[in-house]
Amino acid sequence: MPRQPDPGSPGAGAKAAGTTPISDQWPGNPGGELPTHYPGGIGASPMWTVQCARCHQIATYHPTQWRCICGGPWEPPRPLPFDHRAIRPHRPGIWRYMGLWPFQRDPITMGEGWTPLIPLSAIDPRLWAKLDYVMPTGSYKDRGTVTGLNALREMGVDQVMDDSSGNAGASLAAYAARASLQATLFVPAHASPGKKAQMHAMGARLIEVPGPRAQATAALLQALETGGIYASHVYNPFVLLGLATAAWEIWEQLGRAPDAVITPLGHGMLFLGLFLGFEALQAAGYIDRLPRLYGVQAAACAPLAQAFTAGLEAPAPVEEGETIAEGVRIGAPPRGREILQAARLTGGAILTVQESEIQAAQDRLARQGLFVEPTGALAMAVWSQVLRETDRVMVLMLTGSGLKSLR
Ligand SMILES: Cc1ncc(COP(=O)(O)O)c(C=O)c1O
Ligand SMILES: [Zn+2]
């Protein structure tokens, strides 16, 4: 019998020996509860411990070692812990789950998360939309940037670098500004002007790199040779902590797990975050099976969909074709192997859509009052296809605001 959510019930507020108190001034935290799951501070906390997703080596994360010596990406130890008694509903956004994390300092936050989950009953009674573009910087990225950056901040990092198609950079620029850290961002010169303006306005140092998206990564890696901290929204494992909350929120808001969740798929961080979140719920006995996870790629750049269909374990790199869904224009996703595994394990799939379908999905959502950018409309473009497979409750992740991509 799966346990039901009982948000806010007592049980996780007791002070554990050896913890540094989170400030009593934390907004909406009159009781001054402490995160009790990981007492002992940095290093002693099992969640600053990371594991290589490829060779499974366990290590204590150091900000300069942004990936394993084998080249594999780090991930948090799995399954992530989950216990409904740790939920603090009076805390803003994702910080309702703070009791499950090892943060020792008051985090930098802008109230990100706890985004609306609304029915799309005018389209289909089984369809729900998670408005993850309702975020401080207008994209789902804030959910993961905030935990990723706060973790680095606790490790003493005072300047950060990242490469981005736009939204991750805009998100990092905002949180770095809030934390008084200097951010240097490598972006493709072809990124949306609105996203570049957003980064610039918030004080980030912007380096525009001509050519495909991958060139921005290459330029960053070259710059990194002379120093700096790669606060990668793809490699930083603590980004996944925040992204897992998308699954927890959906479960709380629906009062159950959905049968399927559909998300745009580029580097697949949101996809993996959802997977880790539902995996945690299952491991803790709150749900008895994982929702099917569906990822959507633009047909013009679909390394993961191709590998999924071909039954491969890892994606082969592809040329980045032109697409209006600029956020998923990723030819060689570093976590590809793990994404394919997760899609298969849940009984989901990785699908592709044509440019005209992306445009139609964006228009259809807009007619429902939901103005998202083309990348943010990808889930909408495949819902009827997925419905044939599940015929049950499904959630579409709407990930980026339409205001981002105005040209
Ligand atoms: C609006 C939007 N949606 C979805 C994605 C894809 O996310 P991921 O790279 O985590 O798969 C991006 C990536 O930039 C994005 O900007
Ligand atoms: Zn490794």
Q: Which of 137, 139, 275, 329 to mutate to test the pocket of ligand 1 (most atoms within 8 A of CB)?
A: 139
Q: Calculate how far, in angstroms, residue 335's C-alpha sits from the geometric centre of ligand 2.
A: 12
**Is 15's pLDDT higher than 60?**
no
Q: Which two tokens mark 262?
A: 């559909």
Structural contact between residues 294 and 260, judged by C-beta atoms closer than 8 angstroms:
yes
For residue 45, give the 3-state DSSP assignment: coil
pLDDT tens for 262-302 read 999 999 999 999 999 999 999 999 999 999 999 999 999 99
What residue's CA is closest to ligand 1, atom 1? Answer: 400
What residue's CA is closest to ligand 1, atom 6? Answer: 266
**Is 10's pLDDT higher than 80?**
no
Q: How many CA atoms lie within 13 A of 401 on its CB side?
A: 17
Please report the DSSP string for 50-110 in residue order.
EEETTT--EEE--TT--S-TTSPPEE--SSPP--GGG--TTS-GGGGGGGGS---SPPP--
**Is 357's pLDDT higher than 90?**
yes
What are the beta bridge partners of residue 262?
Answer: 294, 396
User: Which residues make Cβ contacts (< 8 Å) with residue 269, sequence separation at least 6?
Assistant: 144, 233, 234, 239, 240, 243, 335
Count CB-CB contacts under 10 A for residue 285. Answer: 11
Residue closest to 134 by CA, chosen among 107, 162, 119, 114: 114
Return the pLDDT at 245: 98
- Number of residues written out for the chain: 407
State CA 226 to chain mean position distance.
29
Distance CA 128, CA 370 (A): 12
Phi then psi for residue 209, to 5 deg, are -115, 120
Return the pLDDT at 46: 55
Distance CA 171, CA 258 (A): 28
Structural contact between residues 267 and 101, judged by C-beta atoms closer than 8 angstroms:
no
| Residue 357 in contact with ligand 1 by CB distance below 6 A | no
Q: Is the peptide bond before 79 cis (omega within 30 degrees of 0)?
A: yes
Mean per-residue pLDDT for 101-129? 94
For residue 341, give the 3-state DSSP assignment: helix
What residue's CA is closest to ligand 1, atom 7? Answer: 266
Return the pLDDT at 132: 98
Return the pLDDT at 388: 76
Phi then psi for residue 257, to 5 deg, are -85, 145
| Residue 148 in contact with ligand 1 by CB distance below 6 A | no
**Is 9's pLDDT higher than 90?**
no
pLDDT tens for 149-184 read 999 999 899 999 999 989 999 999 999 999 999 999
Average pLDDT value over all residues in the chain: 89
Distance CA 67, CA 226 (A): 17
What residue's CA is closest to ligand 1, atom 10? Answer: 269
Mean per-residue pLDDT for 200-212? 96
pLDDT tens for 97-113 read 999 998 888 899 999 99
| Residue 49 in contact with ligand 1 by CB distance below 6 A | no
Return the pLDDT at 390: 65
Return the pLDDT at 4: 44
What are the beta bridge partners of residue 271?
Answer: none
Distance CA 166, CA 171 (A): 9
What residue's CA is closest to ligand 1, atom 15? Answer: 327
Structural contact between residues 216 and 326, judged by C-beta atoms closer than 8 angstroms:
no
Structural contact between residues 404 and 194, judged by C-beta atoms closer than 8 angstroms:
yes
Q: Which H/E stretch holds residue 295?
A: strand 292-298
Q: Calculate how far, in angstroms, residue 328's C-alpha sits from the geometric centre of ligand 1.
A: 6
| Residue 165 in contact with ligand 1 by CB distance below 6 A | yes
Count CB-CB contacts under 10 A for residue 177. Answer: 16
**Ordered structural domains, the chain, with CATH:** 142-224 (3.40.50.1100)
The model's confidence at residue 391, banded by pLDDT at 50, 70 and 90, is: low
Mean per-residue pLDDT for 372-378? 98
Distance CA 303, CA 323 (A): 14
pLDDT tens for 55-107 read 999 999 999 999 999 999 999 999 999 999 999 999 999 999 999 998 888 89
The model's confidence at residue 23, banded by pLDDT at 50, 70 and 90, is: very low
What are the beta bridge partners of residue 372?
Answer: 401
